[in-house]
Amino acid sequence: MGRNRKLFSAILFLSLSLFMGNAMYASAEEEKTICQGVVIDEVDVSGMTRAQAEEAVKGFVDTLRAKGIAVRVHDNTVYATLGDLGYTSDYSGIVEEALDLGQSGNLIKRYKDLKDIEQGSYTYSLEFTYDEEKIRELVSKEISSYNIEPVNASVKRESGDFVYTDHVIGSKVNVDKTVKLIEDAINNWDRQDILVDAVVDEDMPKYTMEDVKKCNTLLGSYTTEYTTSAQGRAANLANGARLINNTVLYPGDVFNSYDKLTPFTKENGYFTAGAYLNGMVVDSVGGGACQVTTTLYNAVLEAELEVVERFPHSMTIAYVDLSRDAAIAGTYKNFQFKNNTDAPIVVEATTWDRRITFKLWGHETRDENRKIKYVTEILSKTNPPADVIKKDPTQPTTFRQVTQTAHIGYKAKLWKIVYENGKEVSREVVNTSNYAAAPQYVTVGTKEPEEETDPDTPPTGDPKNPTKTPTKAPTKTPTKAPTDDSGTDDSGDDNSEADNPGWDYTEIEE
């Protein structure tokens, strides 16, 4: 009898529970709300509709996304929010599960769900994700912007001595390790603001004091004169030397004359002086710069550094032998050389007493018994074409003025000869250069002399056919054309040119 009573009680309890569950389910379906005691993460969504629950959970997620993360690097701090790093949660599926709790499935499942809720609140945990690429972008761009760049040791010449400056060790954010720290902080987050110290590595410079102290020997030097140059041209040579002086070239670096000397403007320290243009000597701002590059070219030859780019002038110049010049004109004629040694090179440039000197200092590795010599070989010679005559109607017929001397054309070759212990061991061609011939330019007068009559002198002879007394035309001593046995002209000697045998260019050789 007792056993039957217990069985009856269990059946009755199960029936009542199912009845109550069905009643709750019917009520929930009618109102479309979540059962009491349901929590999504930290949000109590009991009795909420789908829309209400989604809005409540979204607000909670947005609060978390607004939490800050600070990354310290050196004495700086970079701030971001978790939302900036793509931190978010797809909560729509969780809300759907909460709505179904105790209201879907067979009777046994619904009964079990409701019994679980009776034991206490039923909590769903949100799953969060972040965007690794956004974290990496934060580290590689914003945080790494505080990297401290290393500084190579340096050397310069000052008052005849070497002055060395020590290197500076830099620091660089380790992107991979810093990204990992941020990810770990997010994965183990206690929902407070996050603070991370970036991982920073030392960043050593490429060249240290030990490297630059190898630069202690004169590798090559050369001097040219400009004693007859006008004041503006002399000032341009001094300015060019100033712009180049104490340039340091580390191994593998290429010296670019155009980059160092331009722009050829008054604002950059240049004056107007003679220059070559289309076979003529003209005035140009920066005239004389080619003597700077030519002198440097010869110092480079003496140092036996690698010549990357070099061009001759369109016409011969006076201050170096043929094939030993290096013109600069616009962007199509440039002089460049490379430091092909194992140590830094410092370029020292000075002007004094109408002379410009370049000295290249570095690490000498050549045998002291090895000597070099450069010799010019003239391959051919072209006489100047006929004079170019310009007529001036404002000058008398006796007027004659040479405005530009003729230039002889040449083709020349430069040889490099190497001696060891006084004996020649090799010779090689350095370059072959062509220089155009140019005519002499002469201006002559074409104005005929006018007759003059003295009004106080009575006419003589037949009054109807008076005799005119010719008036002697004024005379001017003609300007003597300077001789040009060498085919050179110091008036435009190294100035920028539009260099082409046909002189079609409009660029100027400074």
Q: For 396-444, how does the pLDDT look when each residue is reduced to its tens digit (9 = 90+)?
A: 999 999 999 999 999 999 999 999 999 999 999 999 999 999 999 999 9
Of 81 and 449, the one with more pLDDT = 81
Residue 225: pLDDT band by 50, 70, 90 thresholds? very high
- pLDDT higher than 80, residue 186: yes
Max Cα separation, the chain?
Answer: 186
Angle between helices 107-118 and 2-31 (to 10 degrees): 90
- pLDDT higher than 60, residue 492: no
Instruction: Give pLDDT, residue 282.
Output: 83
- DSSP string for 450-507: PP---TTSPP-S-TTSPPPPPPPPP--PPPPPPP-TTS--TTSTT-B----TT-----
Q: What's the order of all strands across the beta sheet hosting 38-40?
A: 43-44, 38-40, 122-124
- Name which of 52, 85, 66 is nearest 187 in CA terms: 85
* Integer Cα distance of 109 and 116 in angstroms: 11
* Integer Cα distance of 244 and 425 in angstroms: 35
Tell me if 415 sits within 8 A of 429, measured CB to CB.
Answer: yes
Q: For 14-44, how does the pLDDT look when each residue is reduced to its tens digit (9 = 90+)?
A: 455 544 545 444 444 455 788 888 999 999 9
Phi, psi dihedrals of residue 288, rounded to the nearest 5°: 115, -10
Whether omega for the bond prior to residue 344 falls within 30 degrees of 0, making it cis, is no
Residue 280: pLDDT band by 50, 70, 90 thresholds? confident
Q: What does the angle CA 434 – CA 438 – CA 444 come to, to the nearest 5 degrees?
A: 175
What integer is the mean pLDDT of 446-462?
66
Tell me the percentage of the chain whose pLDDT exceeds 90.
70
- pLDDT higher than 50, residue 475: no
Domain boundaries defined on the chain: 133-207, 217-447
What integer is the mean pLDDT of 71-91?
95
Question: CB-hemisphere CA count at 13 Å for 171?
Answer: 10
